[in-house]
Every structure is written in structure tokens, then in C-alpha cells.
Amino acid sequence: MDILTTDEMARADQLTIAAGTPGFKLMRAAGRAVADVAGELAEEGAILVVAGRGNNGGDGFVAAAELAAQGRDVSVILLCDRATLKGDAALAAKGWKGEVLPCDPSLIGQPALIIDALFGAGLNRPVKGDPLIMIDAINAAGVPVLAVDLPSGINGDSGGVMGGAIRATETVTFFRPKPGHLLVPGRVHCGRLRVIDIGIDEDVLAEIRPQTFENNPDLWADAFPVPKINSHKFSRGHAVIVSGDIASTGAARLSARAALRGGAGLVTVASPRDALAVNAAALTAVMVRPVDTAAEFAALIGGKVSACVIGPGAGVGERTRMFVEAILAARRHAVLDADALTSFADAPERLFDLIKASPESGVVLTPHEGEFSRIFSKVDEKHPAVSKLERVRLAAQESGAIVLLKGPDTVVASPDGRATIAANAPPWLATAGSGDVLAGVIGALLAQGVPAYEAACIGVWMHGEAGSEAGPGLIAEDLTEVLPAVFRRLYDQLGIQY
């Protein structure tokens, strides 16, 4: 699904209004939808609406009036003087015939539900003073909270907490999700997210041309590789995974097994000679080749190899740097992870120049936050206050690669500006070796000819699904073993026969 920034959402409102739907009609639809959800969350008992001075508060007033009309016990606290409300919010407040209580936290009491309509997309500075006291008091009340559009205090574009923020049970947003609903900590503050139609025509999207998407199969189904009846192992691609020295071979084996499970027809581990016995003893369907020097490595990948994965356990230093350079010189599709990134921490431009010199080869960089700040320190220095989404976009532009920044809200961005945010990763994915499996799955997709952006998105999604499939207690080894179940469900979802 498309994700709209708050500016893009404002544009969607404007286009809809310009096409003849009054803004107040949108507000009425929004407020009524909030009232419906409130009725579901609290089938009985008192409901308190806490409204701010803007249109978010306006939605709150509409919901209050709607709930009162249904016979519910509703009260409204307003952050400002009612007489100072303007535009649609003033109109909405007129529709509320009850009393308006002042902004006093002692008036919150213990309702069955609080509707948070303090701030939405218009939050433009850190919350302090009275609204902050109110937010803290709502959070402390210990009752369910339904947030209108965004939990108040959450930045809709970054998901960041601006001074303080509501912890909602559920959030109702309109038309499309915003980045702040999916990026943490915003996602955590939202609770369950509902996206509701308020009468904005989908045609506005053709004009807005959103560049951010939630990472799910609708987005990349067409690029998903399905073996054909006449496929053979060579046509499914050959992935090479670089092993580290004898003390750190496991990470490459995890990646290699994941690459095989991910659908690569052949997988070879390029192993230092002194680690050959360890790797060979621990691998079966995955092949092992002795490789010590850059020349040997170049000879191996110069053959029928379609993609390389380097980084997991590879070791930081000249050997890894030379191997990365050999991969890029040979124009192989590549996943550069972990140590392959850290090896360029002192000279990231050297890496980026090589990537940009072969734009036709798909290169995916898969840092976690620590690795990201090592190789993209310039992005962080130049743009200290931007969201995770924009940081990754900037990193993709700077490097010329597809950049994937891991975490509970993994972002994938392309130098052309497209980006996805994933929201399907369970927290138990954060375990040693999990990233190595992710690198292997993406390597498999690249090996099968999937374009790098889609390969990264598919890999992240499948990795998240595998985490849910394996469930709590998972270790990285489990992820590869549950991939067949993830494939089966995806095939069912996409209507692919098997």
C-alpha cells in the first residue's frame, strides 16, 4: 500500500476539496469513522474526547457529537478557548451541543475510553506545557485510548516522539498510512492501526505519485521468481558466499543455507583453505571451494556466478575489501553486509565510486544502525534530524546502491527515490545470525535475476514472515527451515500453483 507523507496527505485533501468535496465533509467522515471505532472499543461506559485547536480537534468534536447522538455518555476537554477555534474545527465544535471542559488533567477521571484528538498531522514543534501535562495524564489514566490520525506527539513523517506522546490502544488514520505509523517509536505508540476511507478519490494518487510503500507482496508480486516447469539448477542462478577464517565460518554457512532455501539453484561457499575442512564437514547441498587470494576469488566468480554475498563473518580488512572490489569489477549482483561494509568505514567513497561505476549490477547494502553510521556518517552529519526513511533514501543516493537499514521497521530505498517500510518483523528476529540469513535470502533472489530493489524488499518481507512462522524462541538456524512454509503461504496468497 502507498504511504503518504503528511505533505502528500495535505495535498490529497486539497485535491479532493478542489474537485468539489468540502473539507468539512471529509472531517465529518473522519469524525464519524472515529465514533464507529470508539463504539467498538467501548461498547458501554463514558467516553472522553480530548481535543486540540486544529482540525484534529475538529475530528474529535464530530466524533463526540456522533457518539452523543447515539446516546453515549460523552464529555469533551478542549486545549484552548472554544471561541478561538477556526475554520472546519470551529464548525465541528458548533455541532457539539454539550459542555466544553477546560484543559485540566484532574477532569480526565476513569472513562471507558479516551479519544485523543489533540494533535495530528499539524504537530510542528515539540509538545510542552499544558498539552504535555495532558498527554502524560492520559497515558497515566490506564484506560484504552483511541488516537485520531496519529497519537498526539508523534511526528507523522518520522514516527519520532516530539516532547511526549500518547500511547494509544488503537489509531484511526485516513485514506493512507503515514511513515510515522510504521516507523518506530510511532508504530509502538499507535497500537493497532486502522486505515479508513473518508471519501478521498484514489485518483489523487496519480497526481501525488507517492514514492513510499508498505513492504508487502502487492508491491513486488510481479518480480517474485517462480521456478518454471523447464527450469534447471543453472537457470535458477548460482550464488557465492564468502566465508571468514576458521574461527568465524558459521555466519557464511547460515547465509549459504538461506540462499539455497531462498531458491538459488547452486550455492558455493568460498572458504579460506585453513577453514575448508570445517566448512566442508558442515555443508551438504552447499558446495565449498578453497579461495585465499583475490585472484582465486576473481577466477571463481568469473565463471557462471550470478550473485555474491559478502560480509557475514568475513572479517574486517584488506582481504574483504579486495573481494568486494573483485565482485564489483566482475559486475556481479551483490549483497554487501556486515564486515564488508565496516571494511570501507574509512573510505566509503571508494566503495560508492565502484558501485556507481557499474550501475547495471544490482548491489544491496544491508547495514544495521551501527554499520550504517559507520559508512554513512556523512548523511548523518549533513542531515542530523531526518527520519530513518529519509536517511536511507539519502544513503541510497549517496552510494548508488539499494540500501536496506535493518530493525523493527526495516527500510529499503533505491537511488531513484522509491522506498519501503516493513512492519511484519516480530521482535524475536533480533537474534545472532538473523541478519546473515537475510543476506542469504536476498543473495538468492539476486541470483535468480530479481532486480535489486525488489530482491531487497522480498527478502525483508520473507525474513519477517519466517520470524513469525518460527515464533518466539527462534534461533537463526530456524529461519531457513521455515522458509518452505513461508513460500507455501505466499504461493497461496499470489495464486501460484504448486
Ligand X SMILES: NC(=O)C1=CN([C@@H]2O[C@H](COP(=O)(O)OP(=O)(O)OC[C@H]3O[C@@H](n4cnc5c(N)ncnc54)[C@H](O)[C@@H]3O)[C@@H](O)[C@H]2O)[C@@H](O)CC1
Binding site for ligand ADP (CB under 6 A): 338, 368, 406-408, 410, 425-427, 429-430, 432-436, 438, 463
Nearest approach in angstroms of CB 126 to ligand X is 6
Compute, in degrees rounded to 10, the torsion defined by CA atoms 489, 491, 494, 496.
Answer: -150
Residues 158-217 that bind ligand X (CB under 6 A): 174, 198
Q: Is residue 478 at the binding interface for ligand X, with CB under 6 A as the rule?
A: no
Residue 433, contacted partner among K ion, ligand ADP, ligand X, none, CB below 5-8 A by kind: ligand ADP
Q: Which sign, positive or negative, has the C-alpha torsion 459, 460, 462, 467?
A: positive
Residue 80, CB-side half-sphere exposure with 13 Å CA sphere: 16
Using alpha carbons, list the distances in angstroms from residue 236 to 226, 252, 319, 422: 9, 20, 29, 27
Between CA 214 and CA 379 the distance in angstroms is 24
Residue 81 contacts residue 51 (beta carbons within 8 Å): no
CB of 435 to ligand ADP, least distance (A): 2
Alpha carbon distance 439, 434 (integer Å): 9
Rounded to a whole number of angstroms, the minimum distance from the CB of residue 427 to ligand ADP is: 4
Chain residues 90-129 in contact with ligand X, contact rule CB under 6 A: 119-127
Sole residue written with cell 522509491: 418
The distance of closest approach from Cβ of residue 112 to ligand X in the complex, given in angstroms and rounded to an integer, is 22
* Candidate list 2, 23, 188, 248; residue touching ligand X; CB under 6 A: 23
Rg over alpha carbons for the chain, rounded to the nearest Å, is 26
Residues that bind K ion (rule: CB under 5 A) add up to a total of 5
**Which residues in the 381-400 window bind ligand X by CB under 6 A?**
none
Report whether 72 contacts 235 (CB < 8 A). no
Quick note: the x/- pattern for K ion over 108-127, rule CB under 5 A, is --------x---x-------
Question: What is the rounded CA–CA span in Å between residue 413 and residue 394?
Answer: 9
What are the C-alpha distances in Å from 192 to residues 173, 179, 289? 11, 15, 49
Q: Which one of ligand ADP, K ion, ligand X, none is in contact with 116 (Cβ closer than 5 to 8 A by kind)?
A: K ion
272 assigned to a ligand binding site: no
- Which range touches ligand X (CB under 6 A), out of 57-65, 382-390, 395-403, 433-441? 57-65
The contacts of residue 163 (CB under 8 Å, 6+ apart) are: 126, 127, 128, 132, 153
Q: Is 429 in the site for ligand X (CB under 6 A)?
A: no
20 binds ligand X (CB under 6 A): no
Residue closer to ligand X (CB basis): 26 or 308: 26
Q: Mark out the alpha helices in 164-203 (DSSP H runs).
A: 179-182, 186-190
Cite the annotated binding site for (6S)-NADPHX by residue number. 55-59, 120-126, 149, 251, 313, 368, 436
- Binding residues for ligand X, per CB under 6 A? 13, 23, 26-27, 30, 52-59, 119-127, 131, 148-149, 174, 198
- Binding residues for K ion, per CB under 5 A? 116, 120, 147-148, 152
